[in-house]
Chains A and B, each alone.
Chain A
Amino acid sequence: MTKLLEWLLGVSLVLSAWAVVSFDLLELSLPQTYREVAWPMPLYLLVTFGCYSLATVGYRVATFNDCDEASAELQGQIQEAKQDLRKKGLKI
């Protein structure tokens, strides 16, 4: 199954569960409060997921390591390499 199908399956499962509860499709005679809670759920979920995404990406950008030492080390090694290669007879 492709990821697209997995997603479609997941979303339609959630949506049908939601529809069953909020519109009482199966005539389960659920208490009114259930329907009231269920009705705005998709929107809540979307907003929550949006906030989670923003927070996660924001946190990861803020904590993205700047490898200053790695760059400094490389610069040093480049000089060392150039000298050694010249000694070994490399002509550039």
Chain B
Amino acid sequence: MQSGISFLPEQASTLAPRVDNLYFFIVAVTAFFALLVTVLVVYFAFKYHTDDPYAVGAPIHGSIPLELFWTAVPFVIAIFIFAWSTNVYFDIVRPPDQAMQVYSVGKRWMWKFQHPSGQREINELHVPVGRPVKVTFTSEDVLHDLFIPAFRVKADAIPGRYSTIWFTATQTGEYHLFCAEYCGTKHAGMIGRVIVMEETAYQAWLDTSQESSLAAQGQALYESLSCQSCHLNDGNGRGPALHGLFGSEVQLANGTTATVDEGYLRESILNSQMRVVAGYNPIMPTFQGLVDEDGMVGLIEYIKSLRTGPSSEGASASLPAEAGEPE
């Protein structure tokens, strides 16, 4: 982490220089206008200064061309900044498809992280350098916000739904991680570190875990909740088959479609009546209270792992050997 006085946080992600370049451009534009107006008003104050209270100024009322000019110029500049910044923003909010997945839950006052391999950590996030990482997270209580200044990313953790941030770290090291949305007493203590490691060191770190993978944990929960009794693999069950479902587009009973992502799965497990797949009855019970946030990410990872199409072997959905990180 940094010491001394500096004016920029470290640029430690691929997004950071892009955000900073935009920042510098806006600094230049705003500094220009600030200086322009400052120089003019100060110059006028000296040039036209008088101590005679009866003196009057020149009878100037205005100028339509000038008004149009100084309406149009800021407008054009604003459009330019808008286009540039929106472009950067869409890259900030859209994780690349091949990003490796990490899950997180914010609760007063700590951040829990879970890696698909099963590794868990609190207020620390280990990631490899040079690989896109997507953090999917929610909150167990009030609003929080996952903020990593060195990566220039931030998003609110909102109870009841998933948010994401993503980044590709560009240099190894330790970086601040903050909760940026006020959450009560120890808000300022809801902080941690992101530890960016070389790939080999990261793999070694992953191997220190004794935990089974999230998908395996998810499968255990899946079976204990008897999900497979309705979600038959051949598609003839009372609920849709789950093989190959993740990432696909499904036709809904209400006539619209939905992309099956983390948010859709979460909603369907907790509140299945919201968006029922066409051809199925809205009979799935809610699992609110039966599936906590940790269980939820297990189920999601398990469903994600069911990559192959419906198998003919019936309900014996077994976990693919290389569960975890889809590459």
Whether A associates with B in a native complex is: no
